[in-house]
């Protein structure tokens, strides 16, 4: 063995019933991940994406999107460095003319060696692609593991009347620090100065502890696997006290004194959060922490709203652009992005997983780590990148 292992084996050996989670530094293989919004990929356009350490090309051909490894079989060069698409459904390697069909990955010709026996006998890796709710999902995994998309998205996300809008950006932290930051009930402490506080129903404690029964596991065979945390069954903390003095308090709306805007959160494999009644009642935030490699994730942020008329849809689209995107996805979540990136160095050499000192409410995060270890369908390894 000569390659440095992806994850320090000493650390893996030191954790208990969530070893698989520690090993999944580059993500869980054999799951569906959103990679772009549908509207970002026009007919005929090619885009290079990263997913679980792999470089892929996606292309839309006659409306449908296809995904193929962005590396020529011959000499391993990226096809994307000079994409020669002589026909609409093939791409030809700029170096020696190896030509692949997007739909199947088949080597259809080698332009410089048209009589090679390799032709039609070799395939480049391709992955299934599906579009839903305006997102392009790629199944990053093995052919015999493909399953229904609905098993990899939170309940409700595919509902017919749900309109989904969003954005994405790259975050310089491991995907798990994204997932844990999102699901972590305590991190609301960092949001105490959010401009969302100026919205009527926005009330936010500085902390809150789950009571027995707040946290539930969802492990039905036919559905997504996740952990839910019901904020109605939490004890909120409104004031922070040091040496007997109140030094900081959670934001409450100046208009209406009410409960926290969010009704609860849930985290689902392969790494997607659902926040109910957020940023305000009636909306749902869904966000993915898509592993790009071991050090970065694509933060796919969406907000969904049930809409039954075109008018409702126009109103939501307008609200999204003027309010929820700037104050929620950009402003509020900027604190989260920053927190994940600052946390990254402690976990980068894996020792953070054993050196951390979790407190009682972090038990919800441990439930997520255990669930992910039980139900993750495969651990992406360095050898999968070759």
Q: What is the total count of residues that contact a copy of itself (CB under 8 A)?
A: 72
348-367 residues in contact with a copy of itself (CB under 8 A) are: 349, 351-352, 355-361
The distance of closest approach from Cβ of residue 329 to a copy of itself in the complex, given in angstroms and rounded to an integer, is: 20
Determine, following the binding rule CB under 8 A, whether residue 209 of this chain makes contact with a copy of itself: yes
Identify the residue among 248, 255, 256, 334 touching a copy of itself (CB under 8 A): 248
The distance of closest approach from Cβ of residue 59 to a copy of itself in the complex, given in angstroms and rounded to an integer, is: 15
Give me the DSSP letters along 217-284: EE--TTS--EEEEEGGGEEEE-EEEETTEEEEE----SS---S-S--EEEEETTTEEEEET-SSTT-E
Residue showing tokens 């893996």: 12
The distance of closest approach from Cβ of residue 256 to a copy of itself in the complex, given in angstroms and rounded to an integer, is: 24
b/e burial code for range 212-226 (CB count within 10 A of at least 16 → b) = eebbeeeeeeebbbb
Residue closer to a copy of itself, measured from CB, 302 or 364: 364
Determine, following the binding rule CB under 8 A, whether residue 90 of this chain makes contact with a copy of itself: yes
Report yes or no: 28 and 270 within 8 Å, Cβ to Cβ: yes
Q: What is the DSSP letter of 386?
A: -
Determine, following the binding rule CB under 8 A, whether residue 9 of this chain makes contact with a copy of itself: yes
Identify the residue among 52, 164, 267, 339 touching a copy of itself (CB under 8 A): 339
143-202 residues in contact with a copy of itself (CB under 8 A) are: 184, 186-190
The distance of closest approach from Cβ of residue 16 to a copy of itself in the complex, given in angstroms and rounded to an integer, is: 19
Measured distance CA(289)–CA(158) in Å, rounded: 18
The distance of closest approach from Cβ of residue 318 to a copy of itself in the complex, given in angstroms and rounded to an integer, is: 34
Residue closer to a copy of itself, measured from CB, 34 or 205: 205
Determine, following the binding rule CB under 8 A, whether residue 45 of this chain makes contact with a copy of itself: no
Measured distance CA(210)–CA(23) in Å, rounded: 28
Closest Cα partner for 356 from 157, 317, 365, 298?
365
The distance of closest approach from Cβ of residue 368 to a copy of itself in the complex, given in angstroms and rounded to an integer, is: 15
216-245 residues in contact with a copy of itself (CB under 8 A) are: 237, 240-243, 245
What the block records as the tokens of 131 is 């579009």
Residue closer to a copy of itself, measured from CB, 81 or 314: 81
Report yes or no: 216 and 228 within 8 Å, Cβ to Cβ: yes
Measured distance CA(123)–CA(98) in Å, rounded: 11
Determine, following the binding rule CB under 8 A, whether residue 386 of this chain makes contact with a copy of itself: yes
Identify the residue among 44, 45, 64, 118 touching a copy of itself (CB under 8 A): 118
Determine, following the binding rule CB under 8 A, whether residue 73 of this chain makes contact with a copy of itself: yes
Closest Cα partner for 280 from 259, 266, 300, 301?
259
Choose the binding region for a copy of itself from 162-170, 224-232, 293-301, 339-347 (rule: CB under 8 A).
339-347
Determine, following the binding rule CB under 8 A, whether residue 110 of this chain makes contact with a copy of itself: yes
Determine, following the binding rule CB under 8 A, whether residue 121 of this chain makes contact with a copy of itself: no
Determine, following the binding rule CB under 8 A, whether residue 112 of this chain makes contact with a copy of itself: yes
Measured distance CA(73)–CA(78) in Å, rounded: 10
Torsion-angle region of residue 303: left (phi > 0), alpha (psi -120 to 50) or beta? beta
Determine, following the binding rule CB under 8 A, whether residue 75 of this chain makes contact with a copy of itself: yes
Residue closer to a copy of itself, measured from CB, 243 or 310: 243
Report yes or no: 160 and 308 within 8 Å, Cβ to Cβ: no
Determine, following the binding rule CB under 8 A, whether residue 96 of this chain makes contact with a copy of itself: yes
Residue showing tokens 């407190």: 359
What the block records as the tokens of 249 is 């308090």
Measured distance CA(352)–CA(373) in Å, rounded: 18
Residue closer to a copy of itself, measured from CB, 197 or 225: 197
Torsion-angle region of residue 367: left (phi > 0), alpha (psi -120 to 50) or beta? alpha
Determine, following the binding rule CB under 8 A, whether residue 74 of this chain makes contact with a copy of itself: yes
The distance of closest approach from Cβ of residue 95 to a copy of itself in the complex, given in angstroms and rounded to an integer, is: 6
Determine, following the binding rule CB under 8 A, whether residue 115 of this chain makes contact with a copy of itself: yes
């Amino acid at each position: 063995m000569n390659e440095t292992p992806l994850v320090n084996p000493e650390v893996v050996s030191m954790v208990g019933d969530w070893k698989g989670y520690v090993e999944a530094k580059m993500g869980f293989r054999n799951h569906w991940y959103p990679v772009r919004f549908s509207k970002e990929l026009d007919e005929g356009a090619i885009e290079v994406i990263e997913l679980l350490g792999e470089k892929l090309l996606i292309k839309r051909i006659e409306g449908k999107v296809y995904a193929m490894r962005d590396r020529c079989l011959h000499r391993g060069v990226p096809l994307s460095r000079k994409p020669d698409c002589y026909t609409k459904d093939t791409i030809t390697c700029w170096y020696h003319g190896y030509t692949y069909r997007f739909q199947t990955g088949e080597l259809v010709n080698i332009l410089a060696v048209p009589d090679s026996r390799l032709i039609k006998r070799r395939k480049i890796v391709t992955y299934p692609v599906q579009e839903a709710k305006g997102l392009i999902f790629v199944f990053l995994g093995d052919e015999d593991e493909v399953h229904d998309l609905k098993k990899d998205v939170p309940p409700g996300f595919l509902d017919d009347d749900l309109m989904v809008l969003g954005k994405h950006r790259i975050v310089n932290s491991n995907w798990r620090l994204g997932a844990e930051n999102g699901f972590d009930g305590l991190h609301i402490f960092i949001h105490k100065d959010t401009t969302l506080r100026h919205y009527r129903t926005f009330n936010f404690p500085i902390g809150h502890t789950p009571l027995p029964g707040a946290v539930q596991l969802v492990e039905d065979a036919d559905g997504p696997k996740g952990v839910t945390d019901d904020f109605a069954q939490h004890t909120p903390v409104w004031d922070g006290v040091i040496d007997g003095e109140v030094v900081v308090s959670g934001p409450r709306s100046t208009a209406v004194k009410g409960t926290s805007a969010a009704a609860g959160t849930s985290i689902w494999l392969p790494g997607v959060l659902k926040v109910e009644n957020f940023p305000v009642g009636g909306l749902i935030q869904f966000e993915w922490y898509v592993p790009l490699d071991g050090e970065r994730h694509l933060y796919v942020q969406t907000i969904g709203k049930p809409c039954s008329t075109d008018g409702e849809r126009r109103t939501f689209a307008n609200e999204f652009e003027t309010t929820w995107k700037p104050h929620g996805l950009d402003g509020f979540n900027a604190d989260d992005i920053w927190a994940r990136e600052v946390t990254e160095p402690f976990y980068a050499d894996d020792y953070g997983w054993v050196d951390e000192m979790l407190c009682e409410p972090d038990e919800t995060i441990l439930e997520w780590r255990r669930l992910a270890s039980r139900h993750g369908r495969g651990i992406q390894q360095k050898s999968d990148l070759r």
